[in-house]
Chain A
Amino acid sequence: EVQLVESGGGLVQPGGSQRLSCAASGFTFSIYAMGWVRQAPGKGLDYVAAISGAGGTKYADSVKGRFTIFRDNSKNTVYLQMNSLTAEDTAVYYCAKVRGRGGHDAFDIWGQGTMVTVSS
């Protein structure tokens, strides 16, 4: 079964850091791009970052310079390192797999999400 399981969410103080993990199973992880999408409470979907199978990265402007996406293909895991967090980063963070191997594909598999709350 193809599955993504996120972990690492929780309560963090403004200005703090948090690292999210997403463990993948059921597919050849190393050949697929992966991404992170977030959703603030009661709001819509907001793209955060993506990483290709080879490690190339892209970011939303709102997180560029603060967040880092990286992957460990030996562990079938993608990470999101989040620094300098603000209340505006409070959201459910979803990990997602890109459907194909091209550069313009949809997210076909999603994790269950992990909640990050930035508050003092």
Chain B
Amino acid sequence: DIQMTQSPSSLSASVGDRVTITCRASQSISTYLNWYQQKPGKAPNLLIYTASSLQSGVPSRFSGSVSGADFTLTISSLQPEDFATYYCQQTYSSPITFGQGTRLEIK
């Protein structure tokens, strides 16, 4: 199975900050990497698919990129509603696997 490693596991930031979360796969996954946001008690919400495509309805402050084996989710200017847990997911091969999550907290 492909292992997905996210960093950091948790992060404290302030409203207006620029934040980056990184995900690395244990083997090549092309660009089949997706990002989700999950708030407590709610289902995950798709933010970014195939590494850098913004899902419809998602604010443009969210972006995704890839450099070598590292995939990055960037939030350009944190808003109060962005404090949540973020997960990466590879859909390159079965079984689909998720990263362990990054909890984004208010500083």
Contacts and interface: CB of A to CB of B under 8 A. Distances in A.
Interface of A: 35, 37, 44-47, 50, 58-61, 94, 99, 104-108, 110-113
B44 interface: yes
A94 B43 contact: yes
B45 interface: yes
Contact of B95 (A61, A104, A110): A61
Contacts of B97: 47
Contacts, number: 59
Given A99-B49, A113-B43, A106 B98 contact: no
B81 interface: no
Contacts of A37: 44
Contacts of B50: 104, 106
Nearest to B6: A44
Interface residues of B, number: 24
A61 B95 CA distance: 8
Contacts of A47: 95-98
Contact of A104 (B32, B38, B100): B32
8 contacts: A44-B100, A46-B98, A47-B95, A58-B94, A94-B43, A106-B46, A108-B46, A111-B43
Contact of A110 (B1, B44, B99): B44
Residue picked from A94, A108, A112, most chain B C-beta under 10 Å: A108
Contacts of B44: 37, 45, 94, 107, 110
B49 A59 contact: no
Interface in B75-107: 87, 89, 91-92, 94-101
Residue picked from A60, A104, A108, most chain B C-beta under 10 Å: A104
A45 B46 CA distance: 13
B72 interface: no
Given A50-B96, A59-B95, A112-B43, 18 more contacts: A35-B96, A44-B101, A45-B36, A45-B38, A45-B101, A47-B97, A50-B94, A94-B43, A99-B55, A104-B32, A104-B50, A105-B49, A106-B46, A106-B89, A107-B46, A108-B49, A108-B55, A110-B45
